[in-house]
């Protein structure tokens, strides 16, 4: 008897089902994403287009949002790969109704609707809340370092940037000399220098099609301006109330400048020349803020008394700020930082999350720097705002955080709002208590975490939040951002977090259907 196999005849003509609904099973993730996006308010996307219908037709915004949401959910964030899968992957073809937006269109859509895509996080969180998945009695906050779309080898000092700017200027001068010779270079063309030549030019111009005369579309890139205007003022009273000593004043000045950059981020310029100029301006702003903080500190010392009324022991040690900025900046992504990670250092961003016991992300933000110390109160405040907008009336009860989030003022702020923080006071228990922190909330927190109830409650932190980062980085291959600049990275991070919640909601829906 002959062997029995299913026939594989690639020359046999085949027809796909005429109805898209027959292409995928009813419980496929693509259908769930389509239905979920239908439930969201997408008015901000539509508001960006002309209402009179003029101009070339654009892809339907709802389709584009669904395409991006599904792509991020399955770990596909490259615009070129998304375009390829729109041709080859049945699920992508169903979402796009057999249309194939090219990679440039996809990339431009992400840039054009940067803020609206970031705000999808709140809409998806609202869907999770309606499904009963958002329980906020216990929350966990944590951060992870994700790589930027930049190499640490692109980091330069001020001197290196200045040399490259001068070299570029010299190259342009030489090119203009070769092109124009002894002429200035801004003279009218030869044919426009006489009345006869101008009349001939305009007669010919009237015979040419209009599109040949119009100037090319201006670049969408903004001019290279100093994003860090030096009108920044240091609040001396606030600094004195928080830190003492010259280094404390300098650190506070840098913190305020970074906070301003965080709140008003600049897009990353595509032109390297513009990025060089912006990078140099940022380093100069850093130096200027350091100079002002030093002057404020010395003026404070010159008054002769500390805040509590005691006299200073003597004049401060002489300090001369450097004449040339000493910092470094990455030219590919100036907002990224070289941060210490779990293994070595990475050029990247500090991605922060607040999660529930069911691993639903209720807040997702990008920290201004690589330290978690100043993020406890801001992240819980962000979670409270997101929950309120999602229609969750319940207030957070307990907040769990590791030792990197220890900050007395943040812990006190949460307690004043009726939230119980459980923050590990020591990163390494084997070394015992830190002598510089003994007393007060430090000793109290150690006693709480040594109790059975406190230890059991704090033990939940690890499985509440760390698997979220593991799934995002490993399973969904989102350990490196695709976009550059703090605003763009924040939009991408919040879209990643939104699709994480969408996947959780999908699994919950499947579990209910199977029950």
Averages of pLDDT over runs of 10 residues in the chain (515 residues) are: 67 74 90 95 91 84 95 95 94 92 95 95 96 95 94 89 80 65 57 58 50 38 40 54 67 80 82 85 85 80 65 71 83 91 87 96 92 92 95 93 90 92 79 64 85 92 94 93 94 97 95 84
Q: How far apart are CA 439 and CA 425, in angstroms?
A: 12
On whether the CB atoms of residues 136 and 507 are closer than 8 A, the answer is: no
On whether the CB atoms of residues 311 and 305 are closer than 8 A, the answer is: yes
Q: What is the pLDDT of residue 207?
A: 52
Tell me the β-bridge partners of 338. 347
Q: What is the pLDDT of residue 483?
A: 94
Query: Do β-strands 155-157 and 328-330 pair in parallel, antiparallel, or remain unpaired?
Result: antiparallel
Q: How far apart are CA 326 and CA 331, in angstroms?
A: 16
Q: How far apart are CA 144 and CA 148, in angstroms?
A: 12
Spell out the domains of the chain, with CATH numbers in brackets.
Answer: 20-112 (no CATH), 119-150+336-514 (3.30.420.10), 154-187+219-334 (no CATH)
Q: How far apart are CA 427 and CA 44, in angstroms?
A: 44
On the CB side of 377, how many CA atoms lie within 13 Å of its CA?
14
Q: How far apart are CA 128 and CA 493, in angstroms?
A: 18
User: What is the full DSSP assignment across 256-311?
Assistant: HHHHHHHHSPPPPPSSHHHHHHHHHHHHHHHHHHHHHHHHHHHHHHHT-B-TTSPB
Longest dimension (CA), the chain: 106
């Amino acid at each position: 008897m002959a062997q029995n196999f299913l026939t594989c005849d690639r020359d046999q003509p085949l027809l796909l089902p005429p109805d898209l609904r027959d292409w995928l099973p009813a419980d496929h993730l693509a259908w769930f994403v389509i239905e979920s996006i239908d439930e969201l308010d997408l008015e901000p996307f539509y508001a960006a287009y002309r209402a009179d219908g003029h101009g070339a037709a654009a892809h339907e915004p709802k389709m584009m949002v669904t395409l991006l949401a599904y792509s991020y959910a399955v770990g596909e964030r490259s615009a070129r790969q998304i375009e390829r899968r729109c041709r080859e992957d049945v699920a992508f073809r169903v979402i796009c109704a057999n249309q194939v937006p090219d990679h440039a269109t996809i990339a431009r859509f992400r840039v054009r609707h940067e803020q609206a895509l970031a705000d999808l996080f709140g809409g998806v969180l609202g869907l999770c809340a309606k499904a009963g998945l958002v329980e906020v009695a216990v929350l966990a906050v944590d951060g992870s370092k994700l790589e930027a779309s930049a190499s640490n080898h692109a980091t330069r000092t001020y001197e290196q940037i200045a040399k490259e700017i001068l070299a570029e200027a010299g190259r342009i001068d030489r090119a203009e000399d070769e092109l124009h010779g002894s002429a200035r270079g801004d003279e009218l063309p030869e044919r426009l220098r006489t009345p006869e030549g101008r009349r001939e030019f305009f007669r010919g111009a009237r015979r040419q099609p209009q599109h040949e005369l119009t100037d090319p579309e201006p670049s969408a890139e903004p001019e290279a301006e100093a994003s860090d205007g030096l009108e920044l003022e240091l609040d001396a009273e606030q600094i004195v109330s928080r830190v003492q000593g010259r280094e404390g004043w300098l650190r506070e000045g840098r913190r305020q400048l970074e906070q301003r950059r965080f709140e008003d981020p600049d897009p990353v310029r595509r032109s390297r020349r513009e990025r060089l100029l912006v990078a140099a301006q940022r380093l100069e702003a850093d130096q200027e803020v350091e100079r002002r903080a030093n002057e404020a500190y010395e003026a404070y010392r010159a008054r002769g008394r500390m805040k509590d009324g005691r006299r200073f022991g003597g004049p401060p040690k002489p300090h001369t700020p450097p004449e040339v900025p000493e910092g470094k900046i990455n030219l590919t992504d100036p907002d990224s930082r070289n941060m210490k990670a779990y293994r070595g250092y990475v050029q990247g961003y500090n991605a922060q999350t607040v999660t529930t016991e069911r691993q639903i992300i209720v807040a997702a933000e990008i920290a201004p720097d690589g330290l978690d110390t100043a993020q406890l109160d801001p992240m819980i405040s962000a979670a409270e705002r997101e929950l309120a907008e999602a229609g969750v009336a319940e207030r957070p009860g307990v907040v769990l955080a590791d030792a990197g989030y220890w900050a007395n003022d943040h812990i006190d702020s949460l307690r004043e709002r009726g939230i119980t923080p459980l923050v590990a006071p020591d990163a390494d228990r084997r070394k015992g208590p830190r002598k510089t922190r003994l007393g007060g909330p430090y000793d109290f927190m150690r006693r709480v975490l040594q109790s059975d109830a406190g230890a059991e409650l704090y033990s939940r932190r690890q499985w509440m939040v760390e698997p979220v980062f593991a799934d995002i980085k490993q399973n969904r291959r989102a350990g490196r951002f695709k976009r550059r600049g703090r605003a763009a990275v924040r939009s991408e991070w919040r879209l990643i977090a939104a699709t994480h919640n969408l996947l959780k909601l999908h699994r919950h829906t499947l579990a209910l259907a199977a029950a």
